[in-house]
Amino acid sequence: MKLQDISRRDFIRQAAWSGAALTLAAYMPANGKAVAEIVNPVTNGIASGTELMSWISIGPAGKVTLMCNRSEMGQGTFQALPQMLAEELEVSLDDVHIIFAPANPAKYGPQPQEGSFSVRGWAPQLLRTGASAREMLIEAAASEWKVPKSECYAENGEVIHRVSGRRAAYSALVEKAAKLEPPADVQLKKRADYKIIGKPVPRKDIPLKTNGSAIFGLDKKLPGMKYAVVERSKRFRETVKSFDDSETRKVPGVTHVFKVQRPVFSQFCEGVAVVADSLWAAMQGRKLLKVDWADFGSEHPSTASLEKQMRENLQKIAHQPKFDGEYAQCVQKLEASYETPYQSHSCMEPLNCIADVRPDSIEIWGPIQEANWIQADLSQRFNIPTEQVTVNMTFLGGGFGRKGFTDYPFEAAFISKEIQAPVQVVWTREDDMTAGPFRPGAFYTLKGGLDAKGHIHAFQAITATQWIGQEWSPKPPSAPDAPGYNSSDFEGLLHPYRKGIPHYSFGGAGTHSPIPVMWWRSVYASTNGFACESFIDEMAHLAGKDPLQFRRDHLPDTRYQALVDKMAELTNWSSRSSKQGWGVAFTECFTGICGHAVKVMRNAEGKVRIEKVIALMDCGWYVNPDTIRAQVEGSIVMALGAATTHATTFGDGKAVQQNFDSYPMPRITDIPPIEVHIMENDEKPGGVGEPGLPPFAPALANAIFDLTGQRVRRLPFSLDEISQ
């Protein structure tokens, strides 16, 4: 049994919630129906194991509590989920309280924060949950007043009788409503009737983050908690041969020093943990630690050797007979190569995790991006039932895919089990930037051919990169039974291109390296988009056509044509000056479509500078326009850094860049004015947080060509080095 301290404040807060409450859940039945069923666990007798996907509870004081089953790493989920709920429930967001739900796929459904899925995946369930609660409260009021339900409506946390004007607060109706069955069907609002959705509502997490009350991973503390840092080899896959901790143990506060490991896909990486009573003591102890590493003849890749391998791999599949035949028929032909580097995630909050491992349970606290996966991984590796593994999510100071990985929670649990006490493991910036996993570098060869009318007849993109899917297999790509084809070769391109281009071919060759790689914001779309949308621009100029109109000609879909037309309007495209360089690019990923237009000019010193970025997001049905603008602005800043400021390079099997002195981030003075516009349509909700990134690099490169005639085909590049 765990003893937990409870403050007087917490006791009063919890006691206020005693009494009847209307609690609803949405769950996906085992038969796989696409529409979730809304249930009241009190009246439906939900058995354990039912796949509950979201919870809403209205207490006797009228306060609405939502269990947020998704992590919040700055993308706005913490606001979007209650905003959807409050709209149909007819309550003010001031009356909504949000609590992070622990990992529990049987109760809260899938909880990974990836693929820009929160709104597009959860809107139907949350809207219907809020509407069901509203209708139950209306039914409770109508029953009490003995009037037809049709004469009642809900507004601002009250039920109102249209005829008499009688009113009842939700708090007065909760007890009666809690005894009702949820309605089998509910009428959702029309978009024109929304009061909260689609409006720039202030985010509920911003005050918490500005007044210091928001709990991030490093803020969480437990009674009796130890602190740990780990000395890890800067070279990938090295193991601990021996270590000397004699000086380390002399540091006051150091309590344990021992070898640890963490799973990195199909490999285990080793290190030496230094545990102490304070983080400072642990860090000082690590500085005095001496470790002898063994690499057993593993590869020591460098950036030069990786690039050589990728260029060679491109040649292996350069010829595809069917495509070559169509390409040969083209009137005009073009070939080009594009190159993108490895990138670090470099979240502003380095990795950290608290673990408390007991003989029959594990509890985790920290910046967790993928709670379900981590829960399942710990359960399997420590042989503890899933229901005894609790993963608690805090706020995340950025994630971008890295904090969805299982290695850092496992390492914390490993250390906690060894010392038999709760421990917080903290990664330094150098740990975070050198251990990976990284976004893989990618090289491309592209071929395009035009017909007599200047339309694309044949288009080919061949990619050489490390395939993320192969990371789970220890076999090199050349092995006969190694995982094969990378299904993401087309990721990032607008879908209608496959209709508007008669003959296209996409393929790839896997690059083998001990360097671990994984998802990075927008995954392959960030590199595919740069290569393909830059090359589309090249083909437009080969055809002697306007780049914007050229794209429109190859997009036989009214939704995409409307996007191009809107961009032309926003940029005043037809009237752009010859002293300005304008570039555009459009990409699509995770059902979100985004276009960027970049304007560049020369300053007084003759150097190219970005004057403006205009972004146009088509994410269909949306919740909060301010959140969309913030996400797209953040994506542009991140894309600017990846295109012009930083990259991860390797030498002798180690990451060269270890901190922001050699991996510089864009400064506020580097950021141009950014306009973000949102397409208004009736399409289904799509992603935002990831789709907003890929168009920037190609739009910038295309703008530079428009101004200078110089093609940028390799990232990163320096604006200062663009030739006259």
Residue 52 lies in a domain: yes
CB 595 within 8 A of CB 584: yes
Q: Measured between alpha carbons, how far is 444 from 289 in angstroms, rounded to an integer?
A: 44
> How many Cβ atoms are within 10 Å of 622's Cβ, its own excluded?
23
Predicted confidence at residue 309, as pLDDT, reads: 95
Predicted confidence at residue 429, as pLDDT, reads: 98
pLDDT of residue 478 exceeding 60? no
DSSP state of 404: G
Residues 372, 455 within the same domain: no
pTM above 0.85, yes or no: yes
pLDDT digits (tens, 9 = 90+) for 217-275: 999 999 999 999 999 999 998 999 999 999 999 999 999 999 999 999 888 999 999 99
Residue 372 lies in a domain: yes
Task: Tell me the two tokens of residue 177.
Answer: 């409503």
Q: Measured between alpha carbons, how far is 160 from 162 in angstroms, rounded to an integer?
A: 6
Task: Tell me the two tokens of residue 237.
Answer: 């896959």
Residues 278, 363 within the same domain: yes
**pLDDT tier for residue 334 given thresholds of 50, 70 and 90:** very high
Instruction: Give the containing element (helix H, strand E) for 375.
Output: helix 371-382
Predicted confidence at residue 17, as pLDDT, reads: 40
- The pLDDT of 109-114, averaged and rounded, is 68
Predicted confidence at residue 165, as pLDDT, reads: 97
Residue 150 lies in a domain: yes
The Cα angle at residue 265 between residues 423 and 216, in degrees rounded to 5: 35
How far is the CA of 465 from the CAs of 209, 310, 514, in angstroms?
A: 38, 7, 13
**pLDDT tier for residue 11 given thresholds of 50, 70 and 90:** very low
Burial category of 259 from C-beta neighbours within 10 Å (exposed 0-12, middle 13-18, buried 19 and up): middle
Residues 252, 370 within the same domain: yes
CB 560 within 8 A of CB 655: no
User: Which comes out higher in pLDDT, residue 276 or 97?
Assistant: 276
Residues 116, 144 within the same domain: yes
Q: Among 382, 404, 426, where does a domain finish? A: 426
Task: Tell me the two tokens of residue 442.
Answer: 């990618």
Q: Among 162, 194, 211, where does a domain finish? A: 211
Q: Quick one: angle between helices 371-382 and 407-419, nearest 10? A: 40
**pLDDT tier for residue 38 given thresholds of 50, 70 and 90:** confident
Task: Tell me the two tokens of residue 81.
Answer: 């989920």
CB 624 within 8 A of CB 200: yes
> How many Cβ atoms are within 10 Å of 552's Cβ, its own excluded?
18
**pLDDT tier for residue 469 given thresholds of 50, 70 and 90:** confident
C-alpha dihedral sign at 475, 479, 481, 482? positive
Residues 143, 232 within the same domain: no
Residues 589, 528 within the same domain: yes
Residue 695 lies in a domain: yes
When divided into structural domains, the chain yields a total of 3
Predicted confidence at residue 554, as pLDDT, reads: 97
DSSP state of 297: T
Q: Which domain holds residue 242?
A: 217-298+351-426
Amino acid occupying residue 17:
W
Residue 637 lies in a domain: yes
Residues 633, 715 within the same domain: yes
Q: What share of the chain is helix, strand, coil (3-state, %, to 5)?
A: 35, 25, 40
pLDDT digits (tens, 9 = 90+) for 61-89: 878 887 787 788 888 888 888 899 899 99
Q: Name, of 14-18, 296-300, 506-510, the range with top average pLDDT.
A: 506-510
**pLDDT tier for residue 50 given thresholds of 50, 70 and 90:** very low
CB 415 within 8 A of CB 355: yes
Cα first-last separation, the chain: 72
Q: Measured between alpha carbons, how far is 140 from 22 in angstroms, rounded to an integer?
A: 11
Residue 668 lies in a domain: yes
Percent of the chain with pLDDT over 90: 75
Q: Measured between alpha carbons, how far is 80 from 709 in angstroms, rounded to an integer?
A: 44
Predicted confidence at residue 269, as pLDDT, reads: 94
How far is the CA of 155 from the CAs of 86, 140, 195, 417, in angstroms?
A: 11, 15, 11, 52
Residue 250 lies in a domain: yes
Ordered DSSP codes for 438-485 = BBPPEEEEEEEEE-TTS-EEEEEEEEEE--GGGGG-SS-TTSTTS---
Instruction: Give the containing element (helix H, strand E) for 704.
Output: helix 696-708
Ordered DSSP codes for 120-137 = HHHHHHHHHHHHHHHHHH
Residues 407, 471 within the same domain: no
Residue 279 sits in a domain of what CATH number? 3.30.365.10
pLDDT of residue 47 exceeding 50? no
- The pLDDT of 140-166, averaged and rounded, is 97
**pLDDT tier for residue 204 given thresholds of 50, 70 and 90:** confident
Residues 569, 635 within the same domain: yes
Residues 207, 329 within the same domain: no
Residues 257, 324 within the same domain: no
Predicted confidence at residue 18, as pLDDT, reads: 47
How far is the CA of 485 from the CAs of 310, 467, 508, 634, in angstroms?
A: 16, 9, 7, 32
Residue 311 lies in a domain: no
CB 614 within 8 A of CB 636: no
Task: Tell me the two tokens of residue 304.
Answer: 């030069």
Residues 182, 236 within the same domain: no
pLDDT digits (tens, 9 = 90+) for 403-437: 999 999 999 999 999 999 999 999 999 999 999 99
Q: Which of 318, 410, 297 has the alpha carbon at shortest distance from 364?
A: 410
Report the mean per-residue pLDDT for the chain. Answer: 90
DSSP state of 76: S
Q: Among 183, 211, 239, where does a domain finish? A: 211
**pLDDT tier for residue 112 given thresholds of 50, 70 and 90:** low
